[in-house]
Amino acid sequence: MTLASCQGPSGTAAPEVSKAATAAAIPAAWADKSAKSLFGAVSRPSSQRDESFGSYAKGCLAGAVQLPESGPTWQAMRLSRNRNWGTPELVDFLEDLSRKGAQLPGWNGIYIGDMSQPRGGPMSSGHASHQIGLDADIWMLPGSDMHLSPAARESLSSISLRRNAGAFVNDNWTPQHMALMKAAASDPRVARIFVFPGAKVQMCKTATGDRAWLNKIRPWYGHHYHFHVRLHCPAGMSGCVEQAPPPPGDGCAEAQSWVDNILNPPPPNPNAKPAPPKPELTLAGLPAQCVSVLQSPSLP
């Protein structure tokens, strides 16, 4: 079975400050290769200072650190994908969030899905973003067993929380899911959380007290087997490109309009032209530093 893949929003709204790699700096053997094939072929991080280059959906990651496969309150899932890499800030955040998850009734911790590849970059499957070590997917399945075997981490499935194609939550939804997303959204390191529209509306209806955290909860396609956490660019990473912040407010009216569109889809525009296929990303489309990230020797 496949987990709902994370067709993450690209997050390219902010202007890009990094210069794209110039043709001269790209080894000839790499010029025509897709960036996802180059980054997907590297199994270890670069021996460089940790730094994110570029934007969430067009970038790479130097000096990545690995989320340990097991912790007292987390399990990294699908180890065969080798995507449990990120900035030190992401790993710290996930460990902190897992401790909060372990406090929830019925939860012993959290199951963590894809983060980034060892050197970030585009992936062969599943994501537009997750490229700079600042995105992570958290399973909706409550973490129960904190001693899963590698085989179990491949075969275990998460659970979907949606019904009506994401317009509503289903019977798997619990207040603990909301508490975990609220804890994540309340963390100053977090920029955005992506989840299906019905979950956001559910939280809008049941949130009490301070509603500021709802601002970071963003309705998006998919994201019913997991929610997706995106961190801000860490301090001191000048090559990391932030996404523009969400519009002010709790975003609940916007989420409701997503739900309305699911329930009553607007008629297709007869004049709409089909979107042209996106050209495959090559190194020339990534920040120049990504060439050296790929060329750097591996950490032992």
Query: Where along the sequence are the contacts to Zn ion (CB under 5 A)?
Result: 6, 8, 137, 228
Phi first, then psi, for residue 27 (nearest 5°) are: -55, 140
Nearest approach, Cβ of residue 195 and Zn ion (Å) = 10
**Token reading at 211:** 């509603």
Nearest approach, Cβ of residue 135 and Zn ion (Å) = 6
Could you tell me the strand order of the sheet in which 74-76 lies?
A: 70-71, 74-76, 110-112, 135-139, 226-231, 190-195, 217-219
Nearest approach, Cβ of residue 222 and Zn ion (Å) = 9
Nearest approach, Cβ of residue 81 and Zn ion (Å) = 13
Q: Which is nearer to Zn ion, 182 or 226 (CB)?
A: 226
Nearest approach, Cβ of residue 158 and Zn ion (Å) = 12
Q: Is 65 exposed, middle or buried (0-12, 13-18, 19+ CB in 10 A)?
A: buried
Q: Which is nearer to Zn ion, 166 or 288 (CB)?
A: 166
Nearest approach, Cβ of residue 5 and Zn ion (Å) = 9
Q: Which is nearer to Zn ion, 9 or 239 (CB)?
A: 9
Q: Which is nearer to Zn ion, 176 or 221 (CB)?
A: 221
Q: Rounded distance, CA 34 to CA 276, Å? A: 18
Nearest approach, Cβ of residue 132 and Zn ion (Å) = 13
Q: Which is nearer to Zn ion, 6 or 288 (CB)?
A: 6
Q: Which is nearer to Zn ion, 124 or 298 (CB)?
A: 124
Q: Which is nearer to Zn ion, 117 or 282 (CB)?
A: 117
